[in-house]
Structure 1
Amino acid sequence: MSRLLRNAVVLLVLMTVITGIIYPLAVTGLAQAMFPSQANGSLIVNDGKPVGSTLIGQSFTDPKYFWGRPSATTPQPNNGTSSTPSNQGPTNPALTDAVKQRIDALHAADPGNTAPVPVDLVTASGSGLDPEISPAAAAYQVPRVAKVRGLSETQVQAMVTMATTGRQFGMLGEPRVNVLKLNMALDGH
């Protein structure tokens, strides 16, 4: 019995050292060596200060900025420590009410815009943290942003086009626009 107990304790200590110390250090070291930007949060730096991440959305409500997808995280929007979907299905009245409120907010910010509202401007992503919108969602907002900033729609659309990332490897995913990078480009204009 004592031999079994000793073997169990030795195995526990050995596996704790391997899986709790050696493996995490090796993976962290490899990540830092091979992908330093991604391993450190894919931060976006402006004037030497981190202003956000390419992986986590930010809430923009000022009409002069492009707005991203709604966030489903709590207790505050785009909370990176609380990645979670809303778990509201299409027949849930709470989702219907939330979408209606979001559509009303978009119409209030740009009353003259009669185009259909793209779905990604009124529904949260699965993680609740999506930093990107579709080119259609960006195009929907071009008239509002151009008007508030005193720019032509052509100028703003050109910035959207420059900020649009295509499919990964030419075939995976959909074209997308990182909202923070686009808004930073607008501020730099």
Structure 2
Amino acid sequence: MRTIILAVAAAAAVVAPGSPAVAGPPNLTELQNALLTAAEAPAGYRIAEEPQTLKLPIPRDRTLCDDDASPDGEPETTLVVESLEEDDGTSVFAGIAAPGAYNAMEFVAAVEKTPARCPKENGSTLTPLTLPAIGDAAAGFRDVKPSVDGKSSESTVVAVADGALVLLFEMSEGDESDRAEFLTLVEAAVAKAGRRPDQFSAA
């Protein structure tokens, strides 16, 4: 549910490089080129894993809660995702897909509704994030889970709709200062994607 990208990465089949995206005009090479490079990432981040492509369901009129599973026949898109890391061990998965403007907004809506529908699930507490204006629409939440030794672990999920694109981000671990750096990365990634209007027009 909450770990959008990590859960998909664990279960999804990798799409052969060079195949067309399921929906939307850009091909996989164009989507990959829209991801941040090591030189473009905010200071302190490095590329940990090269991009891979995954199938991602579009959560239309639902949330990402565990008991709100995708129905049969739900549309999918192709997500190109990369992994970034900081020296302190904080990791971020950043993905981009081009499912069209309607589906991109549906993904943001699903993320926005998730902490309200399942604020506590599997021992985790979900709280919505207050985000700056990013893209056409953006939503996010924190997922905090207490551990047995009294220390909590958390992840932060953000979805951004920008024209025909949806950009997904997930930070594992980290504290309040890491979240500020994470949002800087989100803004940098959306800004880069937004500089390619000729290739990423609405579907």
Q: Which has the larger radius of gyration?
A: 1
With normalisation by structure 2, the TM-score equals 0.26
> TM-score of the superposition, structure 1-length normalised?
0.27
Q: Which structure shows the higher strand fraction? A: 2
Higher normalized contact order (CA 8 Å, seq sep 6+, divided by chain length): 2
